[in-house]
Chains A and B, each alone.
Chain A
Amino acid sequence: MSNKEYTDISSIAGPLMVVEGVEGVKYEELVEVNVAGENVPRFGKVLDIAKDKAVVQMFASTTGMTAEGTRARFRGETLKLGVSEDMLGRVFNGAGEVADGGPEIVPEQRRDIAGEPINPYSREFPNDFIQTGVSSIDVMNTLVRGQKLPIFSGAGLPHSRLAAQIARQASVKDGSDFAIVFATLGVSFEEAEYFRREFEEAGALERSVLFINTAADPVVERVSTPRMALTTAEYLAFEKGKHVLVILTDLTNYCEALREVSSARKEVPGRRGYPGYLYTDLSTIYERAGRVKGKQGTITQIPILTMPDDDKTHPVPDLTGYITEGQFVVSRELYRKGVFPPVDVQGSLSRLWSAGVGEGKTRADHSALKDQLFASYATGREVRELAVVLGEASLDDTDRAHLKFADAFEREFVGQGEFENRSVEESLDLGWKLLTMLPRTSLKRVKPEQIDKHMSSVSSEEKI
């Protein structure tokens, strides 16, 4: 570590600071900045180093910094986070400092927050079913351990409540609990506080690590917050053998912070002013999920993002969708109808669902039933549109049955309330029960044996 301090600051603009006359400075090196009259140093990292001139991106706000009297010290290492198992049950701010008034963490390891790419050869394909207790997820868009599956939402939609419900209820067949690493990125105080209370009330706080960066905190801090969370998650999963669920909210704010830094650097922008490397940057967050050979723990990621104007083609959801393994879409239409959780079953997708279902994982009939529910619901919705144009009178009996089915499916299957935790068997049986509303001839995706087996069992239970 060099103890030399540099005072020749030639410019401070936005989150960037330029230091002149430096020697032996390395790319990405951590910079400690002491501002005149302040006791606590601020930190930054080297973004560009040309001969003796270093461009430093600050992690903290640059407000109040002066070109005269500010001293920069290059620390000879990259930004590291001290991690320990004792972090469970604790709350940190977006810069990784203790924020719950408790004692400092004694680190067992110091890890580079940028992480390293996982060798694709060392990965193991995710295939353990996670039961979230939410029918529209468990049956229709199954989540598996080691998957990265974002929630695409919009302003004013209850994505936080859905994420909290998943965090509360998520469990796996072997009964093991998830450790939860949770990070807020530029959300309001209320939203951050909502999650903290939720975890506390559900008794989940002692197995959670919280990183809180709110809208009031420095924008640039947001760029490192998700990396701190994931560094902690990697430590807990791959060193301590825990199954970790990482929830990040809201990635749209993260991308905006990145855009701010990029524009301060005067980089050539890509779409909508976002930097051209947004895809690569997002992938260094999302790809830190998964399972690896020879390690017991796993990382499952649920990032939340709000789509500006519900537009799925906006760069943030668009690039996210290209990296993640599917998406849950929160539906404004269902929310208005009072359905909770309002998961848009058709728009959502889990790319790994087939690896998590079937005999021994959920149930043998899962795959066929899912296809049937999907097809029938799609038909029901088409009929609904047709009925709007041509009137209900133009419908035949089969159409009417589908229309009723679609309504019931949304009300009873998708809609289940915030605190109902359904086992996957219950969800599957409910699916079969709803299918009894339809004429048997229109059930083409399920085998006749399956109909006999499951429909009769459903109806006999009804009689009891």
Chain B
Amino acid sequence: MTNETKDIKAGVIERVTGPLVRANGMSEAKLYEVVKVSDEKLLGEIIELHGDVAAIQVYEETAGIGPGDVVYRTGRTMSAALAPGLLESIYDGVQRPLKDIQAASGDCYIKRGIEAQPIDLEKKWSFKPTVKVGDKVQEGDVLGEVQETTLIMHKVMVPPGEGGVVATIQSGDFNVTEMIATLTRDDDSVASIAMLQYWPIRAARPKTSKIFPAEPLRTGGRSIDTFFPIAKGGAGCIPGPFGAGKTVTQQSIAKFCDAEIIVYIGCGERGNEMTEVLDEFPHLIDPNSGEPLMKRTILIANTSNMPVAAREASVYTGITIAEYYRDMGYNVALMADSTSRWAEAMREISGRLEEMPGEEGYPAYLSSRTAEFYERAGIVKALGSDDRVGSLTVIGAVSPPGGDLSEPVSQATLRVTKTFWSLDADLAYKKHFPSINWLNSYSLYAQNFEGYWKEQIAEDFAEVRTTAMTLLEKESKLLEIVRLVGMESLSNGDRLILEVARMIREDFLFQNAFDKDDAYTPLERQYGILRSIVSIFEVAQEVIDQPEFEFATLTAIPSFAEIARLKDKLQWTKDDYQKFQDTLRAEISALIA
């Protein structure tokens, strides 16, 4: 995150504790200004100012730094570099490409003081203007386009706060710092515009207005899309103890969801997990476009053992990049794994600042920071005169200690997210995956989608969903009775509920993320499967009340065994499911004939 500004020698260090450095002589510095610490030029950011003493959080190891070392100011606030070339990159928390760090350090370790440009400044991009000289443009208007990857057309926009009449506009191959257009502002001054722009990471990018989310993000996950859907532009969270499958769930969503851009933030997590994503994504094919997933992905990897302050910055870096693509009119999905590690980084810095702690040592501003972060999600009308609509969906993993959701980070997150996928240790122990608990989880967006479902999928989608969820609810009560008195005491009606609920769990909700066919089920087929299961319940109602009805004859019909195989029928269409349901009906009705 560097740009052309000169480094000014400013302060002198007086104290060092871990990632926090205090320096005096900083009376001219701004809050959140980027500084370089000592002659090793370690990257840091001013987070507090008291008189001429600045508290600086340093994004690299501070061993070997001490009082008397100098601090350089840059005059710039912590910003993300935004230009073509972001896609397919893998960055650390402060937007340094890990590939360049490897080249610069010549080793597998991350060395200190490495400066790396977030964007390749040499590479030429073919820029095609979409405006002409004399056009009047305002902030957010698209000046031209660059084919960034085979999937994504990068739109070069007038930066926020700029505008005027197009005086010159270029066409051809340019690098990101070359001037591609000049605008004559209203006051006759001239603004020259390059493709590379900066935006401070801690401020949300401006938009014209927010829109009420009414369309689901389709992920191909059956328990997510049908039971607990999230909106395009929504905010969701996945809390769960370790081993419950947070990362697998997040990665499945990143792989298969129908967003055009994915920003994946590995925030304080395992190194090998990031490597897995790096190995896998270039080879995996996006089911929605047929192109490698990497072409739409930006990775931010600040693993647990990398500097803790950079972990704090990583989520902001990620969301700023995500907003930039949202402003182009794309649907963007951002995954942050895990926001608990981000909160812990805040706690560590806060402790070093000797602030008065709130709950469990977390700073008092934990919940407001969390809320601000999730509020940057949304479906928006972007700046610009063409009313582009873009969305940013934010999905945060939370790692509550011991799986206990009463802790501060989970609580702060639950207050601001509207989809809650509760991962359950017991289900994981039984190897039921995804271990999304069907009784605790919720989606407040579901009611927004009723219209969408009716139009796109089926008239009775919402009813089928409700019936299925009610059956699971009833099952949990019945199972308690069974545990006390055994199966024999149940009526045929209750046994039917248990049987159908079991099918919903085992043959619908259970989904193998590692099986390439099972990992992704389109919403149409999800409905087909669930509709088939629920129709057993509806039709069998009529026969089980017959006197002397043997329950075993119901479970013996051929279609019953077929249910388990429905998820393997990749080619089935609406008609096939209809046919299957007709057979089912006929077989069940035949039992009483």
Contact = CB atoms under 8 A, between A and B. Distances in A.
Interface of A: 23-29, 46-52, 78, 112, 114-126, 146-147, 238, 267-271, 276-277, 279-280, 283-284, 287-288, 290, 292-295, 312-315, 318-319, 321-323, 325-327, 346-347, 349, 352, 354, 374-375, 378, 389-390, 394
What is the predominant secondary structure among interface residues of chain B facing chain A? mixed
B102 A271 contact: no
Interface stretch (B271-279, B524-532, B539-547): B271-279
A25 B67 contact: yes
Contact of A287 (B276, B304, B514): B304
Contacts of B483: 389
Contacts of B105: 119
A375 B122 CA distance: 56
B272 A325 contact: yes
A294 to B, nearest CB: 8
B63 A292 contact: no
5 contacts: A27-B64, A27-B66, A121-B102, A280-B344, A321-B242
A193 B576 CA distance: 69
A78 B243 contact: no
B429 A322 contact: no
B17 interface: yes
B129 interface: no
Nearest to A27: B16
A125 B273 CA distance: 8
A120 B275 contact: yes
Given A121-B98, A123-B272, A125-B279, A378 B306 contact: no
B337 to A, nearest CB: 11
A330 to B, nearest CB: 16
Contacts of A313: 241, 401-404
A268 B361 contact: yes
Interface of B: 14-18, 22, 61-68, 90, 98-99, 101-102, 105, 107-111, 241-243, 266, 268, 270-272, 274-276, 278-279, 301, 303-308, 341, 344-345, 347-348, 351, 357, 360-361, 399, 401-404, 429-431, 483, 486, 514
A318 B278 contact: no
B109 A117 contact: yes
Contact of B67 (A50, A270, A325, A349): A50
B108 A267 contact: no
Contacts of A378: 430-431
Nearest to A265: B17
A347 B514 CA distance: 20
Contacts of B279: 125
A126 B101 contact: no
A39 to B, nearest CB: 29
Contacts of B243: 321, 326-327, 349
Contacts of B266: 120
A49 B305 contact: no
Contact of B304 (A124, A279, A375): A279
B347 A276 contact: yes
Given A27-B65, A283-B305, A313-B404, A119 B242 contact: no
Given A29-B64, A276-B344, A123 B275 contact: yes
Nearest to B16: A27
Given A268-B357, A313-B401, A51 B66 contact: no
Given A51-B14, A123-B275, A313-B402, A118 B63 contact: no
A387 B357 CA distance: 52
Nearest to A346: B429
Given A117-B110, A279-B304, A313-B402, A325 B347 contact: no
Contacts of A122: 98, 102, 107-109
B108 A125 contact: no
Residue of A24, A27, A118 with most chain B CB atoms under a 10 A cut-off: A27
Given A27-B16, A268-B361, A293-B108, 9 more contacts: A24-B66, A46-B66, A117-B110, A122-B109, A124-B275, A271-B360, A287-B270, A313-B404, A322-B242
Nearest to A121: B98
A277 B348 contact: yes
A403 B296 CA distance: 51
A279 B341 contact: yes
A295 B108 contact: yes
B271 A290 contact: yes
Nearest to A391: B486
Nearest to B24: A51
A235 B430 CA distance: 41
Given A125-B275, A287-B271, A347-B429, A119 B101 contact: yes
A142 B404 CA distance: 29
A79 B439 CA distance: 53
A47 to B, nearest CB: 8
A120 B304 contact: no
Contacts of A238: 108
A269 B304 contact: no
A52 B514 contact: no
A115 B63 CA distance: 11
A23 B360 CA distance: 37
A280 B347 CA distance: 12
